[in-house]
């Protein structure tokens, strides 16, 4: 029987809609898109580098809560409000995703709360 479980942590921002921070199905973890909200104060930092750092920290905390590490991440989908931020985004992203998971990165018209980036992830043990 496949064990399914919602993953929740106060070390990442609460979901801002009718979804969970992550959902684990057996050995696979699906992390919902993490925007760069600091869970300690609810603030969004300025600039793409600081926002990427916070979004990566949020993904990391959710992954850790599920009993996994960032090396267990096998796929990410990244959303940028402006593709001209691609290089600066990558500079921070590569410090967190050192195992180089598969990735899609697309520009979108808007991201919730006016953020510059959002990252979702899939991890497996």
Question: In the annotation, is 56 catalytic?
Answer: no
Alpha carbon distances (Å) from 37 to 73, 98, 100, 116: 21, 23, 24, 11
Tell me which of 56, 78, 105, 115 is the catalytic residue: 105
CA distance 7 to 43: 22
Token pair listed for 94: 């590569």
User: How many Cα atoms within 13 Å fall on the side-chain side of residue 11?
Assistant: 11
CA distance 84 to 62: 28
Q: At what angle do helices 86-96 and 48-65 cross, to 10 degrees?
A: 30
Active-site residue list: 105
């Amino acid at each position: 029987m496949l064990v399914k479980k919602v993953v929740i942590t106060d070390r990442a921002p609460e979901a801002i809609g009718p979804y969970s921070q992550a959902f684990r199905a057996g050995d696979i973890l699906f992390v919902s898109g993490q925007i760069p909200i600091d869970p300690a104060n609810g603030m969004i930092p300025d600039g793409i580098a600081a926002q990427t750092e916070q979004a990566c920290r949020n993904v990391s905390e959710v992954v850790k809560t599920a009993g996994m590490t960032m090396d267990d991440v096998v796929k990410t989908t990244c959303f940028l409000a402006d593709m001209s931020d691609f290089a600066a985004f990558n500079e921070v992203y590569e410090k967190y995703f050192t195992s180089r998971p598969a990735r899609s990165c697309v520009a979108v018209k808007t991201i919730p709360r006016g953020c510059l980036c959002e990252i979702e992830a899939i991890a497996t043990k």
